[in-house]
A = this chain, B = another copy of it.
Amino acid sequence: MHSYSELLSLVNQKIATTSYGSNPKELYEPIEYMMGLGGKRLRPVLTLMACDLFNSPVEQALDAALAVEVFHNFTLVHDDIMDNAPLRRGQETIYKKWNMPVAILSGDLMMIRAVELLAQTKTDNFLPILSVFNDTAAKVCEGQQIDMNFETRKDVSHAEYIEMITLKTAVLLGASLKIGALIASASEEDATHMYEFGKNIGIAFQIQDDILDSFGVTAQVGKMIGGDIAANKKTLLLIELLESVHKDDLKTLLALFEETNQEKKIEGVLALYDKYQIKLFAEAKKQQYLNDAYAHLEAIKIEAKKKEILIHTAQDLMERMS
């Protein structure tokens, strides 16, 4: 069994030694830039970890692990255009540093390179792996569109919100684990439990991310605090607030949606979050998905001791960001 940091070091080494192409440079420099921005590398580490758990050499899953990371970064490059985001991991986005066409096209190429990397995997059973990848990739796009739809809707329900973050964020964590498990020839049942573990951790992680967007610290989170509030984004926090507020406060909230002074707007919404204990509500919801995740982990037919690394990874993730 490899430790998280051993696996991370393998991933980083793989990233450092992988070339995506060179000509034209306008297309490949942004890809190198994006892949070099760092980040937690959580998804590729999960792929290696899953492969390791089912007793295959992690090297076998290295191309697939990078495929997942390149795919994830492709979605970020395109999301940054759609969200008009200036910063990513504290650095300029491709869209801002270069321009929109370059961001579209280098993103497209990253998607293609991701499939190419996945296809390098030494396995007798490639099609089920490709199928998990494709299903997940489509879901991530659906999630992004549903997320954008929320911006102009006033009636988003809890269930719709959870569906959106499941598609946009959580399924890729599940897929990262499932792909690693399939490469190691795990049973379909165990691979599916791995998927569900990752997916539920992912939902919890996204709820945490929403909490941090309103209650975190800029330097730690690496992006502007209150960005969701400024954009009237329908997070679990805002959905719960809309369902909880009394009449008078609703008037205040609706006025805040129209407020053009961003500082005043963020301050006002945060005050309402405090008044209605929205953070506590979100923390409880997060715990519910963590519990589901652990139930699936429990069901996987490998010795309990081996599962500890997944539990620690999930805990570290939540603690590091809280």
User: How far is B125's CA from A119's CA once the two chains are assembled, in angstroms?
Assistant: 13
> Using Cβ atoms and an 8 Å threshold, which residues of chain B touch A27?
141-142, 145
Cβ distance A107 to chain B, nearest Cβ, rounded Å:
8
Q: A115-B115, A134-B119, A145-B27 are in contact. Are A78 and B126 (CB under 8 A)?
A: no
> Which listed residue, B112, B141, B145, touches A134 by the CB 8 Å rule?
B112
Interface size class of chain A, counting residues whose CB lies under 8 Å from the partner chain: 35 or more
Number of copies: 2
Pick the interface stretch among A50-58, A85-93, A98-106, A287-295. A98-106
User: How far is B75's CA from A109's CA once the two chains are assembled, in angstroms?
Assistant: 11
A19-40 CB mask vs B (1 if < 8 Å, else 0) is: 0010110110000000000000
> Using Cβ atoms and an 8 Å threshold, which residues of chain B touch A130?
115, 119
| CB atoms of A104 and B81 under 8 A apart | yes
> Which listed residue, B24, B104, B137, touches A146 by the CB 8 Å rule?
B24
User: How far is B183's CA from A245's CA once the two chains are assembled, in angstroms?
Assistant: 62
Q: A1-31: which residues lie under 8 A (CB-CB) from chain B?
A: 21, 23-24, 26-27
User: How far is B101's CA from A145's CA once the two chains are assembled, in angstroms?
Assistant: 8
User: How far is B81's CA from A157's CA once the two chains are assembled, in angstroms?
Assistant: 33
| CB atoms of A145 and B24 under 8 A apart | yes
> Which listed residue, B101, B113, B116, B144, touches A105 by the CB 8 Å rule?
B144
Q: Is A82 an interface residue (CB 8 A)?
A: yes
Q: Is A250 an interface residue (CB 8 A)?
A: no
A122-163 CB mask vs B (1 if < 8 Å, else 0) is: 000011001100100110011011101100000000000000
> Which listed residue, B21, B111, B127, touches A142 by the CB 8 Å rule?
B21
Q: What are 7 pairs between A and B in contact, CB < 8 Å? A: A21-B142, A24-B146, A27-B145, A78-B108, A102-B145, A112-B134, A115-B134
Residues of A within 8 A of B (CB): 21, 23-24, 26-27, 78, 81-82, 100-102, 104-105, 107-109, 111-113, 115-116, 119, 126-127, 130-131, 134, 137-138, 141-142, 144-146, 148-149
- Given A26-B149, A108-B111; 20 other pairs, CB 8 A cutoff: A27-B145, A78-B104, A78-B105, A81-B100, A81-B101, A81-B104, A82-B100, A82-B104, A82-B105, A100-B100, A101-B148, A107-B108, A109-B141, A111-B111, A112-B134, A112-B141, A115-B115, A115-B134, A116-B138, A119-B134
